[in-house]
Structure 1
Amino acid sequence: MDCNTDFNFFRISKTKNVATSARKYRDLRLQALQASPASFSSTYETEVAFTDDEWMGTLTSPGRETFICAAITRQDQNVQQFSGDPAKWVGQVTLRAPSSPECSEKNMDPGNDSERWQMLSLFTCPEYRGQGLGKRLCQEVVDFIRGYRDQPKVAELSLIVKAHNTAAVRLYERLGFLHVRRCTLVEALIANGESHLLPADRSAPKYTDLSGLLMKFSVLRP
């Protein structure tokens, strides 16, 4: 990778430049679904049909936060800082806010009443991999949760990854995530807040196979 490239990590604003952010997020998300289709619960065919309003709604939902890694060439840095529009978005991860006790996701871990967050859709563009960007995006999520409020002192961060995605599993293991159990695509979509993508008939092996791995990390607050 060009040594003249810097990386900027930030959380997408829900109020500023939403249309522009939605367009850039859409392009990155669709690229992710094409580049790594086996890594996601959703599909390119589903999301390419989303309207502009749906993409903006995804970013402005009160229950979700989206974090971005942008690649910035140093010669253009001054212009980009002035415009507030980084040149290229090359990585992203989404964080789903703490679930309430009545949420169906609670069944993912019965008996656990702690503050629980769900991380999903981690992706970095193939040409930018191997530089620790995925790790940095995960750290942005952990830092956000840690500073979200003072209590409780421990918050649980969960994710569901395809069990065969060994590179992702190893990344999460290195970050301190622990294996909890295997789970289905139905459970993954519900936990990720994407139950609307589920068909009425969920009997196919695609939905019932234990193809996912639930992992968990404890975020400690000072």
Structure 2
Amino acid sequence: MIRLLEPTDAKDYWDLRLNALKANPEAFAISYKEALKREDPIEGVAKNLNNKGNFTYGAFVDGVLIGVITMLQESPSKLSHKALILGMYVRTESRGSGVGRSLLQEVIKKAKNIKEIERLNLTVVTSNKRAKKLYSDLGFKTYGVEEEALKFNGQYFNEAHMTLKIS
């Protein structure tokens, strides 16, 4: 089941986020150690889940959150025709089951129902071939690569910038 997350889902989201930072540290700007230092992280997540223009969807199996994706509509008026896809993650054991595709399709559907949004943008570590293929399969095009975008344990990771025109 996929549904929009609510503030009451904050703890489940935070637990999954920590799992993501441990399992795939190269894919996220914040580190697991930095995340643990946040004050009141669950309260912060609950607040974010309630923000206008912030849409976080979760995939659940037997009541357990196994995947998430966030779409954040840009707020300055000159940028409000765009939205960012952030923090997409599916638990390792659930990958390959179509959960990621379903989450992304749900966000694309939501974006198409928001009159102002014309374009979805995201970044993905270039070594994440599976994610890049999923994004490409759903129509995202690469418009640039940032070299050495992330650095983790002395290793650099490039990020592809991808976009999807939805109107």
Classify the secondary structure of the residue corresponding to 2:110: helix
Q: What is the distance in 2 between the residues matched to 1:120 and 1:140?
A: 14
Q: State the alpha-carbon separation in 2 of the partners of residues 43 and 66 from structure 1.
A: 21
| Among candidates 149, 161, 165, match of residue 214 of structure 1 | 161
Question: Could you tell me which residue of structure 1 aligns to residue 109 of structure 2?
Answer: 143
* Residue 88 (str. 1) matches residue 64 (str. 2): yes
Aligned residue runs from structure 1 range 47-126, under 5 A: 47-50=35-38, 51=40, 52-72=42-62, 87-100=63-76, 115-126=81-92
Are 1:182 and 1:210, in contact at CA under 8 Å, matched by a contact in 2? no
Number of aligned residue pairs: give it.
162
Which of 12, 15, 29 pairs up with 1:41? 29
Is contact 1:120–1:159 with CA below 8 Å preserved after alignment? yes
Report the identity percentage.
26
The yes-or-no answer on 1:165 pairing with 2:112 is no
Which structure shows the bigger proportion of residues in helix conformation? 1
- Per-residue CA deviations over 1:170-218 (Å, capped at 9, x if unaligned) read 11111111010012677xxxxxxxxxxxxxxxxxx839x7811100111
SS of the equivalent of 1:206 reads strand
TM normalised by structure 2 equals 0.86
The offset of 1:101, in angstroms, is: 5.0
Asked whether the equivalents of residues 26 and 55 of structure 1 are also in contact (C-alpha less than 8 Å), the reply is: yes
Q: Distance in 1 between matches of 2:52 and 2:37?
A: 23
Structure 1 residue runs of 4+, over 6 Å off? none
Structure 1 equivalent of residue 95 of structure 2: 129
Which segments of 5 or more consecutive residues in structure 1 lack a partner in the other structure?
Answer: 1-7, 73-86, 107-113, 187-204
| Alignment partner, residue 189 of structure 1 | none
- Alignment counterpart, residue 5 of structure 2, candidates 2, 12, 34: 12
Structure 1 length normalisation: TM-score?
A: 0.66
Q: Is the 8 A contact 2:16 2:66 kept in 1?
A: yes
8 Å contact kept, 2:70–2:85: yes
SS at 2:48 equivalent: helix
Instruction: Please give the alpha-carbon distance, in whole angstroms, between the structure 2 residues aligned to 1:48 and 1:167.
Output: 28
Question: C-alpha displacement at 1:45, in angstroms?
Answer: 1.1
**1:103-148 deviations in Å (ceiling 9; x for gaps):** xxx6xxxxxxx71110011111111111111000000101101112
Aligned-partner Cα distance in 1 for 2:160–2:53 = 23
Between Structure 1 and Structure 2, the one with more strand by share is 2
Measure, in 2, the Cα distance between the counterparts of 1:137 and 1:210.
Answer: 25
Amino acid of the residue matched to residue 66 of structure 2? V
Task: Report Cα offsets for 1:74-94 as digits up to 9, x if no partner.
Answer: xxxxxxxxxxxxx20000001
